[in-house]
Structure 1
Amino acid sequence: MSAPLDIDQLHTFIAIADTGSFTRAADRIFKTQSAVSMQMRRLEERIGKQLFTKDGRGNRLTAEGEKLLNYARRIIRLNNEAIAAFDDNRLEGTLRIGTPDDYADRYMPEIIGRFAKTHPNVELYIVCEPSTSLTEKMQKGELDIALVTHNPRERQSDVVRTEPLCWVASANHPLRDNAPVPLAVGRRDCCWRQLACSALDADGRDYQILFTSWSSTVVTAAVLAGMAVSVLPESALRPGMKVLTSADGFPPLPPVQIGLMKRPGLSVSLMSAITDHIAACLDNISIASASSVPDDLDGDVRSFAPRPPRHRPGHLMPGW
Structure 2
Amino acid sequence: MTAILDIELIRTFHAVARLGKFSGAAQQLHKSPAAVSVHIQRLEAVAGGRLLNRDNQAVSLTALGKRLLISTTELLATHDRVLADLHGTQLAGRIMLGVPDEYADHVIRDILPTFTAAWPNVILELKTAPSYALREQVQRGKLQAAVLTLPKGQRQAGEVLVTTTPVWVAAIHASASLTEPLALAVHAPQCPYRQVMLQALRQSGRRVRIVLESPSNQAVKACVEAGLAISLIDRGRVTKDMRILSDLPVIPDHEVVFMRSEASYTEEAIDLLGEAMQQRFRL
Query: Percent same amino acid among aligned pairs?
Result: 29
- Give me the whole-angstrom Cα distance separating, in 1, the residues matched to 2:16 and 2:131: 33
Choose from 250, 254, 257 the match for 2:255. 257
| Aligned position for 2:165 | 164
1:71/1:229 CA distance change after superposition, 3 Å:
same
Per-residue deviation, 1:118: 1.9
Are 2:67 and 1:76 aligned? no
| Aligned position for 1:315 | none
Unaligned stretches of 5+ residues in structure 1: 286-320
Are 2:273 and 1:271 aligned? no
Contact residue 135 and residue 155 of structure 1 kept, 8 A: no
- Give me the whole-angstrom Cα distance separating, in 2, the residues matched to 1:137 and 1:256: 20
- Matches for 1:17-96 after TM superposition, within 5 Å: 20=22, 28=30, 37=38, 43-51=43-51, 55=55, 62-87=62-87, 90-96=90-96
1:70/1:28 CA distance change after superposition, 3 Å:
farther
TM-score (ref. length: structure 2):
0.79
- Counterpart AA for 2:231: S
Per-residue deviation, 1:278: 1.0
| Aligned position for 2:222 | 221
Query: How many aligned positions are there?
Result: 275
- Give me the whole-angstrom Cα distance separating, in 1, the residues matched to 2:111 and 2:165: 22
- Give me the whole-angstrom Cα distance separating, in 2, the residues matched to 1:92 and 1:197: 44
- Give me the whole-angstrom Cα distance separating, in 1, the residues matched to 2:94 and 2:178: 53
Per-residue deviation, 1:97: 0.4
Are 2:204 and 1:203 aligned? yes
Moved more, 203-212 or 124-133: 203-212
Contact residue 166 and residue 233 of structure 2 kept, 8 A: yes
- Counterpart AA for 2:84: A
Contact residue 196 and residue 231 of structure 1 kept, 8 A: yes
Residue by residue over 1:208-240, the C-alpha shift from the partner in whole angstroms, topping out at 9 and shown as x without a partner, is: 222222222221221122111111112332331
Q: Which secondary structure state, in structure 1, belongs to the residue aligned with residue 262 of structure 2? A: coil
TM-score (ref. length: structure 1):
0.71
1:225/1:265 CA distance change after superposition, 3 Å:
same
Unaligned stretches of 5+ residues in structure 2: none
Q: Which secondary structure state, in structure 2, belongs to the residue aligned with residue 265 of structure 1? A: helix
Q: Give the structure with higher Rg (CA).
A: 1
- Give me the whole-angstrom Cα distance separating, in 1, the residues matched to 2:153 and 2:8: 40
Per-residue deviation, 1:98: 0.8
- Give me the whole-angstrom Cα distance separating, in 2, the residues matched to 1:231 and 1:54: 29
1:83/1:262 CA distance change after superposition, 3 Å:
same
| Aligned position for 1:148 | 148
Per-residue deviation, 1:87: 2.2
